[in-house]
Amino acid sequence: MSEEKKVIVFALGSEQYGVEVEAVKTIERMQPMTRVPKCPEFIKGVINLRGVVIPVIDLRSRFGLPETEYTDNTRIIIVSAGDYEVGLIVDSANDVIDLDTDQIDNPPEVVGGIKAKYLRGIARIGDNGLLVLLNLEQVLNKAELLQLSAFHEEE
Amino acid sequence: MELSQYLSMFIDESRDHLQAMNDNLLSLESNPQDIGIVHNIFRSAHTLKGMSATMGFEDLAKLTHEMENVLDLVRNNKLEMDSFIFDCIFKSLDALETMVEDIIQGGTGKADVTDIVASLKSIVTGEYKTSGAAAGTAPAAAQAPSGIEVDEYQFSVLKQSIEAGHTVFYIEVAVRDDCVLKAARAYMVFDVLEQNGEVVKSTPSVQDIEQEKFDRTFSVYYISRLDKAALEKAIMNVSEIETAQIVQVDHDSLAEMARSSREQLGAEAQQETAAAAAAPAAPASAASSASSAEQKKPAASAQSAPVANRTIRVDIERLDALMNLFSELLIDRVRLEQLASEVRRSDLTETVEHMSRVSSDLQNIVLKLRMEPVDSVFNRFPRMVRDVAKTLGKKVDLVISGADTELDRTVIGEIGDPLVHLLRNSVDHGIEAIADRLAAGKSETGTVQLRAFHSGNHVFIEVEDDGAGINRPKVLDRAVKNGILTQEQAGRMTDFEIDQLLFASGFSTADKISDISGRGVGLDVVKTKIESLGGTVQVQSVPGKGSKFSVQLPLTLSIISAMLVKLGSEKYALPLSSIVETAAVKQANIRTIQGNRMLEFRGAVIPVVSLSRVFDVPDFDESAEAETEIVVIRKGDKLAAVTVDEFIGQQEIVLKSLGNYLTNLFAISGATILGDGQVALIVDTNALIK
């Protein structure tokens, strides 16, 4: 059965990614951040979002992509998944689209350097565009975070 | 009537009453002659009965009703409390609690209470003494004699009223056959009556009448200054009332009633409902339970009822919301103070200062709102310890101190279960069996002390017993056997370390698995739970003298005083409670002893911790400075000097959680938002001292 799904579209490098609109709380401009010491590299710090302290993750760094300078287009997408409320730094966020669930296919092994387990699916949009849907639960997977921080400490 | 809106009120109040009954019953057990306590229990039971009947929880009402009957005999000196009665009533309370819990869980509060009801009834009839403890089924007819006792009290009220020159009436009111809202009409009649006098007793009870549990008629004993005709007119003014028979009661008829009701005592009693229609004389008074008027009277006549504080109940979420709003305000206040000091206009400064003062007062109040005395957790323990001790055939005194120590309610809500474990453990494993105690030259009765007290920013709760202490060889043996330790490790452990093995998972020293504890899932669960609350637990023991479990809990105040410091471009907050003092020292005074940087400070040598290195601060390193600022921090009796770049100042900060995503951070306990909107991390100074 096909369903309409609203998806926020954002860019990382040359790829377009999407997260379900239900998971997104707000989209913020880049703002000063407080560094949190002894954290995995991809956690850039915490921000004050209207009185709530929210950790911010650089998605590029999370996926092991090369980091770039932040620009005027850089956005922080505040998402909530499970118990977590986290900000994701992306190159830009510019669109909301309707997606038919029929359009979504299983993701291939690797897309744009991102492993399949972080992906929920891949959808064809427009004439030639591809939209990669993120699996937020996996992106924010805590067990992996713990492993990473253990690894970090060994360093 | 839509009852669900009253449900939460019902739940809260039933809990209060159950707790009150438990407490009172315990004090009665140690002081069985004090009828005043029985009165208190009776009142609680009575109110509970009324409430549950109104809410339609029949089983609750039924059980409380039977309890009431027993209590009533006791308070009128017709029955002596003995251990069977105590156990029976305790059991009833347990059953009531279970039912109330069920209601809280969304259940119907139904439970099979026939056994308890039967034993209660056997107490009322006096059968239990002859037929042995668990009288299977008591004759149903044995239900009502209590009514007489209730009335004896009312007799005296009536008698006194007559002597005082008031007029006492027996009124029987019948509503019309076609009346739709019988309860409403009855209510209107009561309303009329209560405007002009006092209803001493009604049959059926007011609760039953309110629920329309009467046929067409109801009768009341009533004290008034009105005369008969005026009274009749007033009642008949209520529409849909068919008749109102009014009989004046004088000395003689009162005496008659008293006598015949006493005759009734031994004889089989009447059912409540049957009595409703009965004649003015004896039988009517012989039936039914206490009315609400009866309940009012003892309170009015200045019994020893404790005067309750005037309180309202507030949803905890509202308090949390208040707290959050207040913290927003606090952040703005700090910002305003900064601005005012920049602008330097005296009227602005004055206003801001005033606002600061008001908001500090407000802060105190808001914080206190969230604090609750630990008593709300402790109060159920005497009962529990009693039961456990009784099951084990031990004699144990529980001595509670510091029950008024206050803790944040979130901690209060969580700390109950771990403490239950610790107390059970102390009674089960700590306190020896009576024979062993006597053999060891101790008194027969063991003592378990439960203490709570404040110390610094923490609350300590201690459970100490005067039992046998920890059997260390046995603990080691068990730990090795259960694979927690190797033989080799075991040999190297200090006594203190051995004691802490009790908290290891999968560990139990009890030879027999008992109901009480000893399933090996006790103390490790306690430890996990307390650590999840940000606390610690440890045990100290002296063989032969006893053991002491100490639980240390954070106050989890949401607002704390802190010292803000700067490290290059980064700002951190250090809780003031852990700071001893601040100072500036020359780099030359920091020496390296055996690879550790140490500082001589007020006659002692203390370690130096570089915060910038601990936190990998990118743009500051104090080693470049000739003189560096230090903050001396304390953990227990250990001190350490923390080097920082610059002091910003002391401030009230609002604790903010870092959320669920960032956990287990090293030396960071949380965050706060500064006046400029930036987030500053709060340093967990305990982690800096090893």
Tens digits of per-residue pLDDT, B447-496? 999 999 887 667 889 999 998 888 888 888 878 887 777 778 777 888 88
Complete DSSP assignment for A97-133 = EEEEGGGEE---SEETTEEGGGEEEEEEETTTEEEEE
For the ranges B269-273, B504-508, B545-549, the lowest mean pLDDT is seen at B269-273
Question: B140, B155, B181: which is the final residue of a domain?
Answer: B140
| B602 conformational bin, left if phi > 0, alpha if psi -120 to 50, beta if neither | left
Q: Count of domains in chain A?
A: 1
Co-location of B160 and B269 in the same domain = yes
- Would you place residue B151 in the very low, low, confident or very high pLDDT band (cuts 50, 70, 90)? low
The H or E element spanning position B571 is strand B570-575
What's the mean pLDDT in B584-611?
88
Local structure of B465: helix, strand or coil:
strand
Complete DSSP assignment for B323-391 = HHHHHHHHHHHHHHHHHHHHH--HHHHHHHHHHHHHHHHHHHHHHHHHEEETHHHHTTHHHHHHHHHHH
| B589 conformational bin, left if phi > 0, alpha if psi -120 to 50, beta if neither | alpha
Co-location of B30 and B158 in the same domain = no
Co-location of B132 and B30 in the same domain = yes
Is residue B159 in some structural domain?
A: yes
In sequence order, the 6+-apart residues with CB closer than 8 A to the CB of A61 are A41, A42, A44, A67
Which of B330, B653, B657, B662 is best to mutate for the A interface (most A CBs within 10 A)?
A: B662
Is residue B310 in some structural domain?
A: no
- Please tell me the predicted confidence (pLDDT) of residue A147: 55
- Please tell me the predicted confidence (pLDDT) of residue B1: 46
CATH number at residue B166: 3.30.70.1110
Co-location of B333 and B440 in the same domain = no
Give the C-alpha separation, B578 to B505, whole Å. 32
For B28-60, write each residue's pLDDT tens digit: 888 877 888 888 888 888 888 888 877 778 888
pLDDT exceeds cutoff 60 at B379: yes
Is B590 or B313 the better-scoring residue by pLDDT? B590
Is residue B465 in some structural domain?
A: yes
Complete DSSP assignment for B65-130 = HHHHHHHHHHHTTSS---HHHHHHHHHHHHHHHHHHHHHHTT-------HHHHHHHHHHHHTTHHH
What's the mean pLDDT in B382-399?
88
Range of the domain at B436: 375-554
Report chain B's mean pLDDT, rounded to a whole number.
77
Co-location of B474 and B534 in the same domain = yes
Q: Which residues of B touch A (CB under 8 A)?
A: 324, 327-328, 331, 570, 614-617, 656-662, 664-668, 671, 673, 677-681
The H or E element spanning position B197 is strand B197-203
What's the mean pLDDT in B385-412?
86
Contact residues on chain A for B664, CB-CB shorter than 8 A: 146, 149
Co-location of B529 and B578 in the same domain = no
CATH number at residue B619: 2.40.50.180
Q: What percent of chain B stands above pLDDT 90? A: 8
- Please tell me the predicted confidence (pLDDT) of residue A1: 61
CA separation (Å) from B479 to B107, B424, B459, B468, B683? 44, 21, 31, 19, 37
Cα A82 to the center of its chain, rounded Å: 15
Cα B239 to the center of its chain, rounded Å: 48
- Would you place residue B509 in the very low, low, confident or very high pLDDT band (cuts 50, 70, 90)? low
ipTM: 0.86
For A49-88, write each residue's pLDDT tens digit: 877 899 999 999 888 888 888 899 999 999 988 888 999 9
Nearest to A48 among B657, B665, B679 (CB): B679
- Please tell me the predicted confidence (pLDDT) of residue B147: 36
Co-location of B78 and B198 in the same domain = no
Find the farthest-apart pair of alpha carbons in chain B and give their distance in angstroms, rounded. 105
Contact B427, B396 (CB under 8 A): yes
Q: Count of domains in chain B?
A: 5
Contact B198, B222 (CB under 8 A): yes
For B81-115, write each residue's pLDDT tens digit: 788 888 888 888 888 888 888 887 777 777 777 88
Co-location of B533 and B636 in the same domain = no
pLDDT exceeds cutoff 70 at B17: yes
Could you say which residues from 16 to 45 on chain A have a Cβ atom under 8 Å away from some Cβ of chain B?
Answer: 32-39, 43, 45
- Please tell me the predicted confidence (pLDDT) of residue A91: 92
Handedness of CA B502, B504, B509, B514 (dihedral sign): positive
- Please tell me the predicted confidence (pLDDT) of residue B469: 85
Highest mean pLDDT among A69-73, B274-278, B367-371, B558-562: A69-73
- Would you place residue A143 in the very low, low, confident or very high pLDDT band (cuts 50, 70, 90)? low
Co-location of B173 and B188 in the same domain = yes
Give the C-alpha separation, B280 to B170, whole Å. 7
What's the mean pLDDT in B343-351?
91
Co-location of B646 and B601 in the same domain = yes
A48 part of contact set with chain B, CB < 8 Å: yes
DSSP state, residue A34: B
Give the C-alpha separation, B649 to B668, whole Å. 19
Question: B486, B519, B554: which is the final residue of a domain?
Answer: B554
pLDDT exceeds cutoff 80 at B532: no
- Please tell me the predicted confidence (pLDDT) of residue B549: 92
* Rg of chain B on CA atoms, in Å: 34
Cβ contact, residue pair A46, B662, below 8 Å: yes
Count CA atoms within 13 Å of residue B551 on its CB side: 30
**Which tokens sit at A83?**
């118990």
Treating both helix axes as pointing N-terminal to C-terminal, what angle do B292-300 and B146-163 enclose, rounded to 10 degrees?
A: 60
pLDDT exceeds cutoff 60 at B128: yes
Co-location of B171 and B254 in the same domain = yes
For B632-673, write each residue's pLDDT tens digit: 998 767 889 999 988 998 887 877 888 888 877 888 888 988
Cβ contact, residue pair B665, A46, below 8 Å: no
Co-location of B123 and B196 in the same domain = no
Give the C-alpha separation, B408 to B377, whole Å. 12
What are the strands of the beta sheet with B241-249, ordered from one edge? B197-203, B217-224, B167-175, B241-249
Which of B666, B678, B679, B681 is best to mutate for the A interface (most A CBs within 10 A)?
A: B679
pLDDT exceeds cutoff 70 at B142: no
Determine the Cα angle at B142 with ends B140 and B144, to 5°: 110
- Please tell me the predicted confidence (pLDDT) of residue B305: 44
Number of other residues whose CB lies within 10 A of the CB of residue B56:
13
pLDDT exceeds cutoff 90 at A8: yes
In sequence order, the 6+-apart residues with CB closer than 8 A to the CB of B477 are none
- Please tell me the predicted confidence (pLDDT) of residue B351: 92
Give the C-alpha separation, A21 to B682, whole Å. 34
Is residue B393 in some structural domain?
A: yes
CATH number at residue B78: 1.20.120.160
Is residue B306 in some structural domain?
A: no
For A108-128, write each residue's pLDDT tens digit: 777 666 777 788 888 887 777
Contact B271, B178 (CB under 8 A): no
pLDDT exceeds cutoff 70 at A19: yes
Question: B114, B140, B166: which is the final residue of a domain?
Answer: B140
Give the C-alpha separation, A101 to A87, whole Å. 26
Nearest to A53 among B570, B656, B665 (CB): B656
CATH number at residue A70: 2.40.50.180
Give the C-alpha separation, B348 to B336, whole Å. 10
Highest mean pLDDT among A44-48, B22-26, B164-168: A44-48
Range of the domain at A100: 4-154
Treating both helix axes as pointing N-terminal to C-terminal, what angle do B4-30 and B381-392 enclose, rounded to 10 degrees?
A: 60
Is B435 or B50 the better-scoring residue by pLDDT? B435
| B677 conformational bin, left if phi > 0, alpha if psi -120 to 50, beta if neither | left
